[in-house]
Amino acid sequence: MNGIMEAGTTTLAPARAHARNVTSEADCDAFIRDVYDQYGLLLVRYATRLLDGDWHKAEDILQETAARAWKHARFLGTRGDHIRPWLFTVARNLVIDHHRARQIRPLELMPVEDLDTSWDGMRSTITSHAVLEALRELKEQHRTIIGLMYYLECSVAQAAEHLGIPPGTVKSRAFYAVRALRKALEKQDVLGE
């Protein structure tokens, strides 16, 4: 993904009108490199606009679009200039799927005590109990940040949107929350120093 950010690829490549005969895996790889070179930055920008500025999710959309293009490389390689509409349609459909998934499972805050701690084994049960005890010692805002970012696996942007605070504040709170959690666990002798 970082390949599209390099200085040599920031300018828009002219559309290549020639069709490629994709018959081997090496041809598929070269085809995907061409797709990234020609359309990578354009697709990321397009997806970013559709995702309200979420550049990281847009990069994920680009990668999934490229993976689908790689699966269909033998068919797409013969299409020449007609690949661009296919790529943008796939990217748009992936963004729509992302929005639908967010509507079905909206981001909601769950109390730390309700999180599933049913891991196998006595040792992991004891450890999870110690973590819950340590979490109870934290400030509410630290518990909330840890719950959002580490249990619900929200991005910084998602957590900021949910809490109504700037992303920088989310990062700062996450740093201090993890540090406070570590201290609480060290106090319980769960973590070795």
- What confidence tier does 64 reach under pLDDT thresholds 50, 70, 90? very high
The pLDDT assigned to 7 comes to 38
| Residue 81 pLDDT exceeds 60 | yes
pTM of the predicted structure, to 2 decimals: 0.44
The amino acid at residue 89 is: T
Q: What percent of the chain has pLDDT over 90?
A: 15
- What confidence tier does 45 reach under pLDDT thresholds 50, 70, 90? very high
Q: How far is CA 145 from the centre of its chain?
A: 18
Q: What percent of the chain has pLDDT over 70?
A: 69
Report which of residues 40 and 147 the model is more confident about.
40
The amino acid at residue 169 is: T
